A = this chain, B = another copy of it.
């Protein structure tokens, strides 16, 4: 079976971009989870992402789904959970008998603000760790990379 273990392969693989981005993401979610654990325990990362997508007037689930790049069904489940948690309210859309509107409750607004505050704290933390200048460079490079990738017609798009 294991006919081939020629190279060390275990040491021959330092930090590549994949591992770095993955680890940064891990740190990100871990730190955000921790920062939010004391305040709104029930608000999951996915829910937090949805919170900031909901407009003040209320948003349609299908619109949110496309904004968040997921299926209507996934968004539906997320919204049901959030409604059960009291973060949003689902009311019928007066302009369309099929549709509904997801609107933030007071608790939802609070949760959203907490989430943004946590992101800001994370930013500050990382900026302290890395230094303001380097942080600025890092953000610029990431943005440039993502813009570049988004502009490509082929592949993942």
List residues of chain A with CB under 8 Å of any chain B CB.
1-5, 9-10, 13, 15-18, 20-25, 27-28, 30-32, 34, 52, 55-56, 89, 103-106, 109, 112, 116, 119-120, 122-123, 126, 129-130, 134-135, 137-139, 141-146, 148-149, 152, 155-156
A27 surroundings in chain B (CB, below 8 A): 146, 149, 156
Question: Are the C-beta atoms of B1 and A119 separated by less than 8 Å?
Answer: no
* A130-B56 Cα distance, complex, nearest whole Å: 37
* A15-B147 Cα distance, complex, nearest whole Å: 11
Question: Are the C-beta atoms of A138 and B149 separated by less than 8 Å?
Answer: no
A-B contact pairs, 8 of them (CB 8 A): A2-B105, A5-B56, A13-B52, A17-B119, A17-B122, A20-B146, A21-B21, A24-B24
CB within 8 A of A34: which of B31, B142, B144, B155? B155
* A148-B131 Cα distance, complex, nearest whole Å: 10
CB within 8 A of A130: which of B55, B137, B148? B148
Most chain B CB neighbours (cut-off 10 Å) among A1, A27, A109, A116: A1
This chain: copies in complex: 2
Closest to A118 in B: B18
* A55-B11 Cα distance, complex, nearest whole Å: 10
Given A24-B146, A143-B20, are A1 and B105 neighbors across the interface (CB < 8 Å)? yes
- Given contacts A9-B56, A17-B135, A20-B146, could you give 12 more A-B pairs where the C-beta distance is less than 8 Å? A1-B89, A2-B109, A3-B106, A10-B56, A17-B139, A20-B142, A21-B25, A24-B142, A24-B145, A34-B155, A130-B145, A134-B141
